[in-house]
């Protein structure tokens, strides 16, 4: 079990320290505070990596592209197809 600071975890995983800190403060990332004034934040590296894995798997299975059917938007049914220029 490897406990890392926010900056150490950021360097090791490539995820910004801002994003890690945001997750700590909104309560979506388990952590512990240590030190005399409880100011140092430590995060379990394995738990963090597992959360990222679960999150990415959920994102891949839950998201579908839904076409826009609003009359104010252009028809996007041909999106991604090559257009022939005459």
Q: Other CB atoms closer than 10 Å to residue 8's CB: what's the count?
A: 15
pLDDT in tens, 7-52: 999 999 999 999 999 999 999 999 999 988 888 999 999 999 999 9
Please say if the pLDDT value at position 1 is more than 90. Answer: no
On the CB side of 60, CA atoms within 13 Å amount to 6
Quick one: pLDDT at residue 23? Answer: 94
Quick one: pLDDT at residue 58? Answer: 82
pLDDT band at 83 (very low <50, low <70, confident <90, very high): low
Taking the domains of the chain in order of start, what are their residue ranges?
A: 3-51
Give kind and range of the element (H or E) at residue 24.
helix 17-25
Asked if 76 and 67 touch (Cβ cutoff 8 Å), the reply is yes
* 57-71: average pLDDT: 64
The Cα 74–Cα 78 span in angstroms is 10
Quick one: pLDDT at residue 19? Answer: 94
User: Is the model's pTM score more than 0.75?
Assistant: no
Q: Regarding beta strands 32-34 and 40-44, do their DSSP bridges make them parallel or antiparallel, or are they unpaired? A: antiparallel
């Amino acid at each position: 079990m490897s406990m890392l600071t926010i900056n150490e975890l950021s360097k090791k995983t490539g995820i910004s320290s801002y994003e890690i800190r945001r997750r700590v403060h909104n309560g979506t990332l388990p952590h512990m505070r240590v030190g005399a004034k409880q100011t140092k934040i430590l995060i379990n590296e394995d738990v963090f990596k597992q959360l990222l894995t679960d999150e990415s798997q959920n994102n891949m299975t839950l998201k579908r592209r839904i076409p826009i059917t609003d009359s104010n938007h252009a028809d996007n049914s041909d999106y991604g197809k090559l257009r022939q220029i005459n």
